[in-house]
């Protein structure tokens, strides 16, 4: 029989997709005021994987990802997505969204994004929000799944998430050298 245990705290990771790069600094400040300071920010990553967002937001689009120093409860992801959706709305114009904000969390064994769109592999969290298992950690790397968004499957972003994972793992070290997740760190 498996006994319920509290889940590990997760590393909050928020991706921002936009055309107007100057907006990122302001968005980063606003996200930090809500979720604490980021301890890692990716370089600008070109986004040419789909034209889906370009129809509304223009092109060329760029993505930047921030990992936050304060850990979160895994069951808080739906509320975080609600907050980032509200922030997106503040930047909306008559032409549409100017920013797309994708919150998620990272654990030693997986990376999960929040979305408002249902699909067969997504789990409902509440408040109209679903969890999307985006990447799994195996053989020393984050591995994409058949449904993983192409930019998260691509090497620049998955390499950044690997660096985030290392920092997260170092923060989980216990006094005796063990980690909260045990062997998952060494998978």
Measured CA distances, 130 to 65, 82, 134 (Å) = 20, 11, 12
Q: What is the pLDDT of residues 42-76, one digit of tens each?
A: 999 988 888 888 889 999 999 999 999 999 999 99
**Spans of the chain below 70 pLDDT:** 174-187
Q: Is residue 94 part of a domain?
A: yes
Q: Is residue 2 part of a domain?
A: no
Phi, psi for residue 87 in degrees, rounded to 5 = -65, -40
Q: Is residue 186 part of a domain?
A: no
Q: Is residue 58 part of a domain?
A: yes
Q: Give the chain's domain count.
A: 1
Q: Is residue 59 part of a domain?
A: yes
Give 123's strand partners.
131
- The two tokens of residue 175 are 């006094």
- Count Cβ atoms below 10 Å from residue 2 Cβ, excluding itself: 4
User: What pLDDT does 29 receive?
Assistant: 97
Q: State the distance between the two ends of the chain, measured CA to CA, in whole angstroms.
A: 25
Cis preceding linkage at 60, omega within 30: yes
User: What pLDDT does 179 receive?
Assistant: 44
Quick one: which H or E segment has residue 56? Answer: helix 54-57
User: What pLDDT does 52 receive?
Assistant: 87
């Amino acid at each position: 029989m498996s006994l319920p245990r509290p889940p590990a705290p997760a590393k909050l990771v928020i991706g921002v997709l936009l055309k107007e790069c100057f907006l990122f600094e302001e968005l980063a400040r606003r996200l930090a005021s809500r979720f604490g300071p980021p301890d890692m920010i990716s370089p600008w990553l070109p986004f040419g994987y789909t034209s889906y967002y370009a129809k509304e937001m223009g092109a060329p689009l760029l993505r930047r990802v921030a990992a936050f120093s304060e850990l979160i409860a895994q069951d808080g992801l739906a509320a975080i997505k609600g907050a980032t959706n509200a922030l997106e709305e503040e930047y909306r114009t008559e032409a549409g969204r100017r920013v797309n904000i994708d919150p998620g969390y990272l654990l030693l064994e997986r990376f999960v994004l929040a979305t408002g769109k249902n699909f067969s592999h997504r789990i409902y969290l509440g408040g109209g929000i679903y969890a999307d298992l985006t990447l799994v950690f195996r053989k020393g790397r984050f591995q994409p799944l058949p449904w993983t968004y192409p930019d998260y499957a691509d090497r620049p972003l998955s390499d950044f998430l690997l660096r985030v994972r290392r920092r997260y793992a170092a923060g989980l070290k216990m006094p005796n050298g063990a980690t909260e997740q045990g062997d998952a760190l060494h998978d």
